[in-house]
Structure 1
Amino acid sequence: MSNTQADLAFDARDVVGESMVWDDRRGRLVWVDIIGRRIHRLDPLTGNHESWPTPDLVTSVGLRKDGGAIVGLRKEVALWDFEGPFRTIATIEPDRPGTRLNEGAVAPDGSFWAGTMTNNIGPDDAPIAIARDEGRLYRIGPDGEVTSLSEDRFGITNTMVWTADGRFITADTTKNALYSYAWDKISSRLREPLPFFVDFGRGLPDGSCPDAEGHVWNCRVVGGSCLVRIAPDGRLDRIAELPCSWPTSCAFGGENFDVLFVTSARFTMSADHLQANPQEGGLFAIRPGVRGAPANRFG
């Protein structure tokens, strides 16, 4: 049954909520607040919420086969056990101090894929303009080996979705475009990209997730205030309205994977806007009438 009404599931008040994933073993949502420097875990049925501070920017999180997490920080990719220290297994672009990690997700082969971008967050956490396309895509294997996936450059790397027919879909937020790549699993390289969903008139593309019917749900950040469902051929299927300006990432969860959860941000918003719209930065839930599938696990 479809319910297009999106409800506030948790008043997180994240500065930049991101990287939502559903832990089906524990029945918990896990996500990060990049600028808030914290990792969340929530039981949406009981409201039980846990939060852990991080020493620096935390940019993404995924699940591991052994029950722990894999975490993208500013430059490092680390293993973490929902307690204790972060154990670095890879450092990304150590020779490029002006970049940082952004999007990250576990791929179907058990590796962790991560994208970089020009750092857009100042020492005071205020935004910095992005002057050049410096973002790249990397694969981090279970042994910590880092492989460059493509020579392409991105303004802001976002969205990591793998399709059943072997393609990889990603986005460049600054270009208002999602792209579809053929993935050569033998060489761990991405082939020539094809435009997948470009120049949509509401907001810009941020995080995405697939559903069980092969469609992609994409968050429209920077004032888009909605999710779009994109058909496998790149056609717009539907729009789901949201009571937030900057939806950032999404994941299917719940016992039957029939609830679509959405994180959001309040980055750059004025005090007057936040006073009038206190739900910004919250976690939202919608029942779209389709289901998702379990998240990939690292290892």
Structure 2
Amino acid sequence: MHETEASLIFDARDVVGESLAWDERRERLVWVDIIGRRIHRLDPSTGAHESWPTGDLVTSVGLRKDGGAIVGLRKEIALWDFGGPFRTLAAIEADRPGTRLNEGVVAPDGSFWVGTMANNIGPDDAPVAITSDEGKLYRVDPNGAVTMLSEDRFGITNTMVWLADGRFVTADTMKNALYSYGWDKKAGRLGGALPFFAGFERGLPDGSCLDAEDYVWNCRVVGGRCLARIAPDGRLDRIVELPCSWPTSCAFGGTNLDTLFVTSARFTMSAEHLDANPHEGGLFALRPGVRGVPANRFG
């Protein structure tokens, strides 16, 4: 499979597929459908698929060192064991009814970093316009303590990757920009934001992952139809075309971590568009010629 031949491997039909992670112990992909209110697990080699309904919005998922999962819900971070109840570990912005959780990723130190945003999903699951920057970044440590990481505000928090030199890279989808931050370990806070990659004309930035060469692979949502591979210095390295218009998150997986998997969304799309493009919301795979790095685990 060459990089230009991304193919559909699972017709998930997710409303908003997100937060893809590769569980190397079980050789399974794990991801969420935020608005579809479900968590997926897939063996890409056999097609064996499991799905769990979540009752309310489920916004992110990560892996734990003990083999379970850590899950972002609408307002809570919970521990979960691929079945059974969610066990609340922390509440985020319980005093801000107009916000919800969005991106969440396990950090190299075993904590869970999560972003918030103004709620953009109405009671009927129709889109609600975002009119202000309400998003913040938080760190949840294994005992449930929550720390706000920065005073910066975001329209939509997306992308959380940690470069080899210690920089943290994150995106604001609304501003079509990725930023890098230094990490003040002593203070437990992020430093000031520096521009990393901005103004790219295809779509907007959604989720990202790192490869073993420390390059960032960024999904270009809202019609971008591609992945952008970005060098550690913020230079555009290459563009990989995709057969979906809203790619949302990506992760390297497979036995050798040499397959790049991509989730997608069908949120806001017309019935006419979906009739013509029935695989929107599917899970795709390609082999870009580089390997990834294992997912961090919580705990």
**Partners in 1 of 2:3 and 2:148 — Cα distance?**
41
The equivalent residue for 1:25 is 25
Aligned length: 299
**Partners in 1 of 2:5 and 2:238 — Cα distance?**
14
Matching residue's letter, 1:237: D
Q: Once the 2 structures are TM-superposed, how far is the Cα of residue 293 of structure 1 from its aligned partner?
A: 1.0
**Partners in 2 of 1:233 and 1:114 — Cα distance?**
24
Q: Once the 2 structures are TM-superposed, how far is the Cα of residue 67 of structure 1 from its aligned partner?
A: 0.1
Q: Once the 2 structures are TM-superposed, how far is the Cα of residue 86 of structure 1 from its aligned partner?
A: 0.1
The equivalent residue for 1:233 is 233
Q: Once the 2 structures are TM-superposed, how far is the Cα of residue 186 of structure 1 from its aligned partner?
A: 2.3
Matching residue's letter, 2:62: G
Unaligned runs of 5+ in 1: none
Q: SS in structure 2 opposite 1:100?
A: strand
**Partners in 2 of 1:12 and 1:204 — Cα distance?**
22
**Partners in 1 of 2:82 and 2:30 — Cα distance?**
10
The equivalent residue for 2:48 is 48
Q: CA RMSD in A?
A: 0.7
The answer to whether the Cα contact below 8 Å between 2:3 and 2:240 also exists between their aligned partners in 1 is no
**Partners in 2 of 1:196 and 1:293 — Cα distance?**
21
The equivalent residue for 1:69 is 69
CA offset digits 1:220-271 (Å, max 9, x no partner): 0000000000001100000000000100000000000000000000000000
The equivalent residue for 1:271 is 271
The equivalent residue for 1:141 is 141
Q: SS in structure 1 opposite 2:67?
A: coil
Q: Once the 2 structures are TM-superposed, how far is the Cα of residue 185 of structure 1 from its aligned partner?
A: 2.0
CA offset digits 1:81-113 (Å, max 9, x no partner): 001000001000010000000000000000000
**Partners in 1 of 2:48 and 2:187 — Cα distance?**
43
Unaligned runs of 5+ in 2: none
The answer to whether the Cα contact below 8 Å between 2:20 and 2:29 also exists between their aligned partners in 1 is yes
**Partners in 1 of 2:293 and 2:98 — Cα distance?**
36
**Partners in 1 of 2:57 and 2:73 — Cα distance?**
6
Q: Once the 2 structures are TM-superposed, how far is the Cα of residue 55 of structure 1 from its aligned partner?
A: 1.4
**Partners in 2 of 1:184 and 1:14 — Cα distance?**
38
The equivalent residue for 2:124 is 124
**Partners in 1 of 2:219 and 2:53 — Cα distance?**
26
Q: SS in structure 2 opposite 1:152?
A: coil
Matching residue's letter, 1:101: L
The equivalent residue for 1:244 is 244
**Partners in 2 of 1:108 and 1:283 — Cα distance?**
26
Q: Taking structure 2 as the reference length, what is the TM-score of the superposition?
A: 0.99
**Partners in 2 of 1:187 and 1:28 — Cα distance?**
37
Matching residue's letter, 1:113: W
Q: SS in structure 2 opposite 1:31?
A: strand
**Partners in 2 of 1:126 and 1:75 — Cα distance?**
19
**Partners in 1 of 2:102 and 2:166 — Cα distance?**
23
**Partners in 1 of 2:289 and 2:99 — Cα distance?**
39
**Partners in 2 of 1:263 and 1:159 — Cα distance?**
14
**Partners in 1 of 2:162 and 2:3 — Cα distance?**
26
Q: SS in structure 2 opposite 1:4?
A: coil
The equivalent residue for 1:197 is 197
Alignment of 1:176-187 (within 5 A): 176-187=176-187
Q: Once the 2 structures are TM-superposed, how far is the Cα of residue 2 of structure 1 from its aligned partner?
A: 4.5
Deviates more, 1:93-102 or 1:178-187: 178-187
Q: SS in structure 2 opposite 1:274?
A: helix
Q: SS in structure 1 opposite 2:131?
A: coil
Identity over the aligned pairs, expressed in percent? 81
Q: SS in structure 2 opposite 1:66?
A: coil
Q: SS in structure 2 opposite 1:288?
A: coil
Q: SS in structure 2 opposite 1:250?
A: strand
CA offset digits 1:115-152 (Å, max 9, x no partner): 00000000000000001000000000000000000000
**Partners in 1 of 2:202 and 2:242 — Cα distance?**
12
Q: SS in structure 2 opposite 1:3?
A: coil
**Partners in 1 of 2:119 and 2:89 — Cα distance?**
22
The equivalent residue for 2:292 is 292
